[in-house]
Structure 1
Amino acid sequence: MRILVGVKRVVDYAVKVRVQNNTVDLSNVKMSLNPFCEIAVEEAVRLKEKKAADEVVAVSVGPKQCTETLRTALAMGCDRAIHIQTDRRTDYVDLQPFAVAHLFQKVVEQEEADLVLLGKQGIDSDCGQTGPMLAGLLGWPQVTFAAKMDLEGDGMMVERETDAGTETIKIPSLPAVVTCDLRLNEPRYATLPNIMKAKKKKVDTIAADDLGVDLEPHNPVLDIFEPPPRKEGITVESVDDLLDKLRNEAKVLK
């Protein structure tokens, strides 16, 4: 079984982004592997360690700096990587999920993958659309927000998060697309020996324009702005004072 796992380069979760000139300023900003994609990589590597998969291939779309992010996935245990290179920003401004799903479709079909694992969403755009769109384009079954995965015969059982708890879905047979949620696993740290080995692993580069996909955004972003600053808080002397202000000033209590 060959697993393709999506890897997205995003602004690090600990960084406070800055908005300048009607866009998010990415200059001199720390970038890292999207946390949900990291969970997908970990799950793919675990399946290989269980001898359920023969090969794990990491795939990323973005500028040349994405190679660094792919090396992180390789250091975690992926066997090789594919970089779909484009100079377009991948945080929804220039490149949106519809185009990304079409790019992934081309690679999945070329690689003849049996399973595609993706993070449930990117922490930059929070769309959560690439996985479902990819499944639709491929005509494959899908499970989103996976919290637990178990191979069962030719298919798998997947427990997924819902607003009301969890539900278990059976995929009778692969191929399939699964998007990974936080509870699925805890990603490993890449060890120094594996980081060194990752430098020797193969990374194929494909120009996005060569795949024949329309990359133009279908939902133009008209404006980007920071949320208004929060009002200053106040200190109260007692619980009674707090209740009084919540009741009479904030009007959140009756």
Structure 2
Amino acid sequence: MKILVAVKRVIDYNAKVRVKPDNSDVDLANIKMAINPFCEIAVEEAVRLKESGIATEIVVASIGEKPCQEQIRSALALGADRGIHVETENNSDSLNVAKLLAKVAEREQIDLIILGKQAIDSDNNQTGQMLAALLNCSQGTFASKVCVENEKLLVTREIDGGLQTLSLTLPAVVTTDLRLNEPRYAALPNIMKAKRKPLQVLTPDELGVTFKQHTQLMSVAEPAKREQGVMVNSVDELIEKLKFEAKVI
């Protein structure tokens, strides 16, 4: 089984996000970037499938400007075999990304594609579903468990009523949830080895994809600041404030 894992370069979740003074976008100057946490879970799951003897090769792909190669190298240090960077400065909204990943998957003859369910910057939760539609293949979203039995991919996902298990035929697209696994830390020897692993750079033109602007960013604003809390002296006073001031009960 050959696995493709998509990773996205995002602001590190521990970093404080700043908005530009003109509210046009997020300020990325001098801020730490990292692999999207859900994408990191996807890499870990692919590595586990390879360690169990199910997967034969793991290809990591990222779409964006040249600095994305840093995140590809991080994924290679976690256990992926080689990387593909689709270099572009154009608007990489969900549909454009899905189109590029579909071309990469077809070119590489991928059996299984694993993505994070969403990116922590845009929170769109769209790319995996769009990719499955473009490839006309089965999909399992929000996976909390993945296993292979009798040449079928069993994906367990959490739903409102409990757990749902899907039986998918390959090729398939799987998007990862937080409960799927806990990503490992890259050991120093593996970080050094990752620098020597192959990383191919492609362009959208080479993949035959023309970018179209499907969305437009209007403005970015910081969330409203939380108001200072009020100390109460008793449960009765708390109930009274919740009922008459907050009007939530």
Give the TM bin, normalised by the shorter chain: over 0.9
Where 2:232 maps in the other structure, the secondary structure is coil
TM-score scaled by length of structure 2: 0.95
Q: Is the 8 A contact 1:144 1:160 kept in 2?
A: yes
Q: Is the 8 A contact 2:112 2:171 kept in 1?
A: yes
Q: Is the 8 A contact 1:86 1:207 kept in 2?
A: yes
Q: Is the 8 A contact 1:60 1:82 kept in 2?
A: yes
One-letter code aligned to 2:9: R
One-letter code aligned to 2:199: V
How far apart are residue 229 of structure 1 and its match?
1.7
Where 1:87 maps in the other structure, the secondary structure is coil
Structure 1: how far apart are the matches of 2:202 and 2:4?
Answer: 16
Look up the match of 1:10.
10
Look up the match of 1:19.
19
1:185 equivalent to 2:187? Answer: no
The superposition leaves residues 196-235 of structure 1 with CA deviations (integer Å, 9 ceiling, x where unpaired) of 1111111111123432323232121222222222222122
Structure 2: how far apart are the matches of 1:18 and 1:216?
Answer: 28
Q: Is the 8 A contact 1:157 1:170 kept in 2?
A: yes
Q: Which runs of 4+ in 1 moved over 4 A?
A: none
CA RMSD of superposed structures (Å)? 1.2
Look up the match of 1:150.
147
Q: Is the 8 A contact 1:95 1:216 kept in 2?
A: no
One-letter code aligned to 1:118: L
Give matches, 1:1-254, under 5 Å.
1-20=1-20, 21=22, 22-88=24-90, 94-171=91-168, 173-253=169-249
- Structure 2 residue runs without a partner (length 5+): none
Q: Is the 8 A contact 2:204 2:210 kept in 1?
A: no
TM-score scaled by length of structure 1: 0.94
- Structure 1 residue runs without a partner (length 5+): 89-93
Structure 1: how far apart are the matches of 2:198 and 2:151?
Answer: 29
Structure 1: how far apart are the matches of 2:159 and 2:29?
Answer: 37
Over the matched positions of the two proteins, sequence identity in percent amounts to 55
